[in-house]
Each structure stands twice: as C-alpha cells, then as structure tokens.
Amino acid sequence: MRHLDPSSVKTENIGLDATREDIMTYLPRKKVYLAIIAALSLSACATIQPQPVDAKHLLEQGKADLSAAQKDVEPITGELTLDQALARALKYNLDRRAKMMDEALAFKQLDVSHYDMLPRLLAQAGYSDRDNDKITLSRNPDGSINNNRVTTQERRHATESLSLSWSMLDLGVGYYNTVQQAERVQIAGEKRRKAMHLLMQDVRSAYWRAYSAQKLRGEVQGTTRLAEEALADSRKAEIERLRNPIDALRYQRQILENLRLLEAVDAELASAKFELSALINAPLGQDHTLAEPPGGISKAPLEIPVEALEESAMTNNPDIRENHHNARIARQETRKTLVRLFPNLTFNYGSYYDSDRYQVNNSWREASVQLSFNLFNLFTGPTQMKLAEAGVALADQRRVATQMAVLAQLHLARQQYANALQQFQRADAIWQTDARISGHGLAPAHAGIRGNDEFRRRIVDACGERAGGEALPRQLMPRIDLKSPKITRKLTTEWFAR
C-alpha cells in the first residue's frame, strides 16, 4: 500500500475530487477506444461473403472421391459367383463402411464421455494494464473522510493460477451421460447389423436379376427382332390388302403389346448390372460374367413352427433391440434429471501467483468447499420429472409398436414365401406342359418353315396369343430357366400363361 500526497496526483487520474477538465479529458479517450473496436468489428463482419463451390473444384473433388472409393479394391477376375459378390459387398460396400465408421465414432464418444467424470484442472495466466492508478480513500472511525489517498495495486501486473475443482453434480450427470453413450454404442452396432442384412438381400436380388439379364439378353433380342419383322410384314400385308384389315390390326396390336412387355422386362433386368456393381463397389462400366447360382427351392422355412420364428425375431431383430436400448436411455435420462435437482457440492483447491509488488504475499494456496442449490428447482423439478417420465412412456410405446410390426412382417413374409413357392411350382408345371406340346406340334415348323412369314407369325403368336386358350409353345420363346420365384413368376405367367 502506497500513500500519495494530494498534490502529487497527476491531473489525468480520476479521483473523487477530480475536476471537470479531467473528466472531459478522460471521456473522449474512452469514446475513441470504443469507436475503434466497433469499427474493427463491423469491418470483420462486412468481409464475410458467401463462397460458392466452383465447377473446377467439384470436378477435382469428384475424381479424388472416385479414386478413394476404388482404393485397395481387388479387381474381378473370371466369373463372379454369388458367394463372391456377397463377400465383396461385405468388404468393399461404401454404405457398410460408413456404418462401421459410425460405430467406431460411437466408441470414441464413449471414451471421451468417461473423462466428464474427472475433476477439472484449470491453468490460467493473465496480464492487466490500466492507464491510471487504483486510488482509494478511507473513512475514519468518527465518519469523516480521510484525505490520505492510497493505491493498493500496480498499473501493470501478471497473474498465474493452477486450480483443481470437482463438482459432485457434474460427477453424477457425467456418470449417467456415460451410461447413455454406452447404450448408443449398442444402437450403432444394431444399425450396422441391420444395414448388413439389407445389403445381403439387395446383393442377392441384384445378382439374380443381372444373371437373368445375362442369360436372356440374346434370346430376348432375337425374339424382339423376329417380332419386329412380323410386324413389318403384317403392315405390308395390310397395305396390299392381302388380309382382312381388322385381323391385321388385331395381329399388330398383339405384337406391339408383346414387344412392349419384352422391352420393359429387358430394361428392368439390364439395370440390375449397374445396381450389382454399385453394391460390390466395382467399376460401373465394366462387364462381369456371372456364374449360375445354385438352384433349388426348399420348403424348410415353412416347416419351422411360427412360435420359434417369433421368438427368434423378438430376440434377434435389430429394430427391436435398438428400441430396447432407446428405452434404457430414456430411463437413464430420468435418473439424470433427478440428480440435477440435488444441491451441488464443489471442492476447490488451487495455487495462485500475482506479480503485484504491493502485495505482501505474491503466491499463496487456497482450498474451499462450496454448497449451492438452485431454488428454482423447487418449482421446475416436478415438471422436469414429468417430462422425463413421458420420454420413458414414449420409448416403451415405440418398442411395443416396433415389436408388433416385426411380428406382422414375419407372418406376412412367411405367407409370401408360401405363395411364391406355389406360384413357382405352378409356373414350372406350365413350362413342362408347354414343352411336351411343342415337342408334338412344332417339328414340321422347325424342319421347313423357319425362314418364312408363317414361322414368324407363329413366333409372335407364341409371344402374345390371348384368345381361345390356345397352347403357347415355349420352344418358340426364349428358354427361361430361373431359380428366382419372383422372376420366374413374372416372366412365365405374363408370357406363357395367357
């Protein structure tokens, strides 16, 4: 503490008895500082402008992303089997990689959440500078003002501190946050497992359709070409009045309808090649020769008791398991809300240093215990608890709804499998009947009329004949030998069973 004589105080120091001129000298300086700070802030805000992404950057980034997507991907050599396609999808599929990274990120967040329960160790350093002395006056015991002015702080001094603080409230909240994050790790694993199941289904579907397109491409194109030739001949016959115009137009309509069907099926199957390439992360423009998948339709899934299937679905379905974890998170949220309503007990300990030479002890240690309580919790606590309990009820209701939806999906899938199996068997019986009919009735056609209009007419009639229940000889159409019930049912029913 330093005693100052009133006459030695400089005019720029602002005291209790400062003159009007001193105040007027100090205030403009403060306004200048504020004006400079405001100008710098406004200039910084004005310089921020939206920056669109240019086409060159997009192109470069796109090429880099394509290279990153194909990095460390083994090329496809030889025929691609269904098992190889599934293995490549599990290893190289980009969406699956993203799900695995999500799970890894959840694990990292769990590791970070463990540190929230530790005390806070705070290191601080500062520097203070003021343009005048900190001058104080004192009051005598009789109430009069002591005119001896003193300063207790240097204009410039540095401070340092290292303090440890541990809040019991933060410890409790951090504990429940860590428990909730552990549940989110399990949810990320269930999402990854669900994505893997859907990926396997998509790969199987795309593989069967791509293989069907590979097997039918040549024969469908040949049949389409013959149908177009028959359509041209029919139009020529119509112009030359060689046939009844009404019969010719009906005939052309049948051909056009069957051409539309053939083109639609060919387009649908042809797109499967690109879908399969995307699923296994293969170059989109590269042609792959697909091996014939192992065939056979089994009734084994229908022989499993429905009760066993339901139990398996309730214990293994990822959606149900995810909702169980969400319900547990909601219950932990209720406990966390209750902890926040308690008083907070904080332990503090620290070491401090101040370079101010007016202080007798420039360094010291300090320990304290603080107990605090937010009185508004008395009013908001019941509302917060009701909100947490409503979250628990919502999570339970979502779990029940998901479980019922999964069980309904199970029964529906089982019935669809039974229907598909029955339709496949019916379609196979139709194919065998058509094969026997064609074996009896088409030998003369193959022997002598393959190149004439009559043969083309019979091909087109085989494609699109609808009237009279006439048998449709399958040997005149592309040989379809598919193991997929969906593809077989669609092609066989629409082409040969009308």
Residue 16 confidence (pLDDT) above 80: no
Residue 13 has pLDDT above 80, yes or no: no
Helices 306-316, 377-441: axis angle to 10 degrees equals 130
388 pLDDT higher than 70: yes
Distance CA 112, CA 184 (A): 13
What percent of the chain is predicted at pLDDT more than 90?
30
| CA 82, 84, 90, 95 torsion-angle sign | negative
Rounded Cα distance, 236 and 243, in Å: 10
More confident residue, 417 or 240: 417
pLDDT at 37: 78
Classified as helix, coil or strand, 120 is strand
What average pLDDT does this structure show over 414-428? 88
User: What are the C-alpha distances in Å from 247 to residues 21, 114, 234?
Assistant: 115, 83, 10
Per-residue confidence at 248, pLDDT binned at 50, 70, 90? Answer: confident
Which residues does 292 contact at the CB level (< 8 Å), separation at least 6? 211
CA distances 46 to 32, 37, 49, 410, Å, are 21, 14, 8, 60
> Is 125 a residue whose pLDDT tops 50?
yes
3-class DSSP state of 363: strand
- DSSP conformation class of 157: E
Residue 455 or residue 296, greater confidence: 296
pLDDT class of 440 with cuts at 50, 70, 90: low
Side by side, the strands of the sheet bearing 145-151 are 2-4, 145-151, 135-139
pLDDT band at residue 450, thresholds of 50, 70 and 90? very low
**pLDDT value for 263:** 82
**SS3 state at 150:** strand
pLDDT for res 24: 45
CA distance linking residue 153 with residue 2, whole number of Å: 9
Decide which of 145 and 276 is more confident: 276
Q: What mean pLDDT, rounded, does the chain reach?
A: 78
Q: What pLDDT shows up at residue 436?
A: 82
Burial label for 207, CB within 10 Å (0-12, 13-18, 19+), is buried
pLDDT at position 133, please?
85
Confidence of residue 462 (pLDDT cuts 50, 70, 90): very low
Q: Please check the confidence at residue 6 and state whether its pLDDT lies above 60.
A: no
Q: Residue 492: how many CB atoms within 10 A of its CB?
A: 21
Q: Which residue has the higher pLDDT, 129 or 347?
A: 347
**pLDDT for the residue numbered 153:** 86
Q: What is the per-residue pLDDT for 318?
A: 93
Query: HSE of 450 in the Cβ direction (CA atoms, 13 Å)?
Result: 6
Q: Which of 111-115, 215-219, 244-248, 449-453 has the lowest mean pLDDT?
A: 449-453
More confident residue, 456 or 46: 46
The pLDDT, as a whole number, for residue 47 is 67
> Residue 326 above 90 pLDDT?
yes
Identify which has the larger pLDDT, 224 or 126: 126
Average pLDDT over residues 428-443: 74
DSSP 122-144: EEEEEEEE-SS--EEEEE-TTSP
Task: Give this prediction's pTM.
Answer: 0.71
C-alpha separations of 352 from 121, 348, 363 in Å: 13, 13, 6
In this predicted structure, the answer to whether residue 322 has a pLDDT above a threshold of 90 is yes
Cα–Cα separations (whole angstroms), residue 361 to 136, 164, 364: 21, 21, 7
Q: Which residues contact 447 (CB under 8 A, 6 or more apart)?
A: none
CA atoms within 13 A on the CB side of 174: 16
pLDDT computed for residue 68 by the predictor: 81
Residue burial 11-35, b: 16+ Cβ < 10 Å; e: rest: eebbbeeeeeebeeebeeeeeeeee
